[in-house]
Amino acid sequence: MNTNMDASGGAEITLEKVDCIRERAGLSYEDAVEYLRQAGGDVVEALVLIERDMSAQRTRLIDKGSEIIEAIKDVIHKGNETKIKIRQNDKTLVELPVTAGVVGAMIAPQLAALGALAALATKCSISLEGPEPGPAGSPSPGSPGGVDN
């Protein structure tokens, strides 16, 4: 039987203890041995340490996931406020949210490119227009404003 005393002179760390930790927690040998060392060779204490670490990791992952979802919602909101306008002379032919244009271009990129070429060939202008300026006369933060192509 392979046995090692932990660094602080605590209980020995046996292959059986390592296997027990590995089976219960799904860890590598290296990680199982490390948790047993931290727990002074006590299997139950090692499992408690593992549980605490995994709970903390889950919490961090949930927090990161929430941040990512909020960022995506913000991008979609800004994309819905910003419009793609296709005009011929002074007449607006098409006005759609940037979000819809991006989704459409992802679904059918060849069709989107063909539509853009057709619009330009018929002397149409394509522009991006952000939301109306706020009360102070300045555009909302992050709005691209009117950009003509």
Q: pLDDT digits over 130-147, tens only?
A: 876 655 544 444 444 444
Residue 1: predicted pLDDT: 43
Higher pLDDT, 142 or 76: 76
Q: For the chain, which residues make up each domain, given as ranges?
A: 3-69, 82-148
Claim: this prediction has a pTM higher than 0.85: no
Q: What is the mean pLDDT of residues 29-39?
A: 95
Residue 48: predicted pLDDT: 95
Which CATH superfamily, name and number, covers 3-69?
Answer: Ubiquitin-associated (UBA) domain (1.10.8.10)
Q: Is the pLDDT of residue 7 over 70?
A: no
> What value, to the nearest 5°, has the Cα angle with vertex 109 and ends 105 and 112?
65
